[in-house]
Structure 1
Amino acid sequence: MNMPATVLTDLVLLLLFLLLMAAPHTGGAVHEWLGVLLTFALLLHAWFNRVWYKSLLKGRYNVTRAARLALNALLLLMLLGTLASAVPISRTVFAFLGLEGGLSARTVHVFCAHWCFLLAAVHLGVYGKRFCAPLARLFSAPRPLGYRLTSSGLSVALALYGLHAFFQRELTFPLTMQSSFMLWSENAALFLLDYGAVFFLFAWTGFRLTTMSRTWRSHASLFLRAGEKRPSPSDQTTHPEKRA
């Protein structure tokens, strides 16, 4: 069973994003080295998807394509902000620079990191089919009766728990630059569960919105085609023999 390198890279990114949010549990030094590893994984992800960058100036932009471009641009901006703000507050990897970033640099870092976390989740949801299709082929197995119903129910339940964890963890504060610290939890497993559920919530929302967009465009296309094929009253008047 060979897993594609692109899928393996995405899985590593998913794990790294989650572990990086658990800085209070991993410790500062591990957190910084995980950030370095994330940087290399992101560069590898960009290399695997280099065709997307080449296509930016090609073709027409509809609402969906423009929204995806805006999402990716925001994610890239927040990633750069996270990496740039990590340098002055580093105490391990960039300690040799002798920088002493204060509370303001830490606030910016936490702000950008949380937005990266959520935007990466939405990004995964929007491009979910490309990520899940290879996994589905690798782990294909018979699906019992009621699989889709059970899967949908569990997804909604996990998303609702993610919504609860979002407010329970008071994530609105770092997302609005009102806090430079995260609400700490002594239980590492519960911490990872909460942030994992929040990540799932935003990924699931991105996936559902993308699915709804495809459905709407499909219905709109069928409606427009039906309108084009329907003969107008003027055509029926000019060519009465067609009605015979």
Structure 2
Amino acid sequence: MKLNIFIRLVIDLSMTVLILVAMAYQITGNTIHEVVGVILFFLFISHNILNRRWYKLIYKGKHNVRRILSIAVNLLFLVSMAVVMISSVPISRDIFGFIPINNNMVLLQIHVMTSYWGFIFMSVHIGMSWGTIFNAVRNMTGITGTSHTSTIVLRSIAVLIVVYGVQTSFERDMLSKLTIYNPFGWSYDESSMGFLTDHLAIMGIYISGTHYVLKFIRKQDKAMAYKSR
């Protein structure tokens, strides 16, 4: 595997893990939350520098459905993360606690809401690149072949994750967190494993959904191309 691809995978994986850690505010506490946020800022900058060529190619080439969706999701993810990072500075209590601000409730609500939207956009972003990620991991591990049985097993696991993710989305009232209706609905007896399991399952909804929707779109495009011959 090329070194550049490996570095990108490490940075992307680190960002995914740290976003989950940052969201677990009631488990980690404020200081760790802010330190993780600073690390995420530098990883986010690094991620965009490594993928700067993508920005140059936005207006070039053919814009099919898949590419339009990719551009939209990536830009929304970029905006949401930018808002999260900008809003975090004035409401900081430790790292940037020296910055005076009188009314931080609105900024706090915006910070929480956009962090959850960023979480959703990140999951969709991963889903759009899932095939590439999966192939890269296979190359790293030396797994080159697939079987019908392994495909069925993996798809069955994906279905179970999605079902559990939908259930836990309702239990955690994700809709209210995305609309500032009740962004502070935390459970104070939250366990680390419960939080991780639930949020990975929620990610699974959008990763799996995006991956299979794009597969369907590709099949439709191929069918239309074949008919037009």
Report the TM-score, using the length of structure 1 for normalisation: 0.86
The 3-state SS of whatever aligns with 1:97 is coil
**Long gaps (5+) in structure 2:** none
Aligned-residue offset at 1:206: 1.1
Deviations 1:38-96 (A, max 9, x none): 11111111122122111112223223222211111111111111112111211012112
Would you say the 8 A contact 1:111–1:177 is kept in 2?
A: yes
- 2:166 is equivalent to residue 163 of structure 1: yes
> How many angstroms apart in 1 are the aligned matches of 2:78 and 2:103?
23
- Give the structure 1 partner of residue 198 of structure 2: 194
Aligned-residue offset at 1:186: 2.5
> How many angstroms apart in 2 are the aligned matches of 1:134 and 1:10?
13
Would you say the 8 A contact 2:26–2:186 is kept in 1?
A: no
- Give the structure 2 partner of residue 213 of structure 1: 217
Aligned-residue offset at 1:98: 2.6
Would you say the 8 A contact 2:109–2:183 is kept in 1?
A: yes
- Percent of aligned positions with the same letter in both sequences? 27
> How many angstroms apart in 1 are the aligned matches of 2:27 and 2:58?
40
Aligned-residue offset at 1:129: 2.0
- Give the structure 1 partner of residue 77 of structure 2: 75
The 3-state SS of whatever aligns with 2:161 is helix
- 2:40 is equivalent to residue 19 of structure 1: no
Report the TM-score, using the length of structure 2 for normalisation: 0.92
In angstroms, what is the RMSD of aligned CA positions?
1.8
Greater Rg over alpha carbons, structure: 1
Would you say the 8 A contact 1:118–1:199 is kept in 2?
A: yes
Aligned-residue offset at 1:180: 3.2
Aligned-residue offset at 1:145: 6.0
Runs of 4+ in structure 1 over 6 Å off: none
- Give the structure 2 partner of residue 106 of structure 1: 108
Would you say the 8 A contact 1:81–1:112 is kept in 2?
A: yes
State the number of aligned residues: 225
- Give the structure 2 partner of residue 150 of structure 1: 153
- Give the structure 2 partner of residue 4 of structure 1: 6
Amino acid at match of 1:27: G
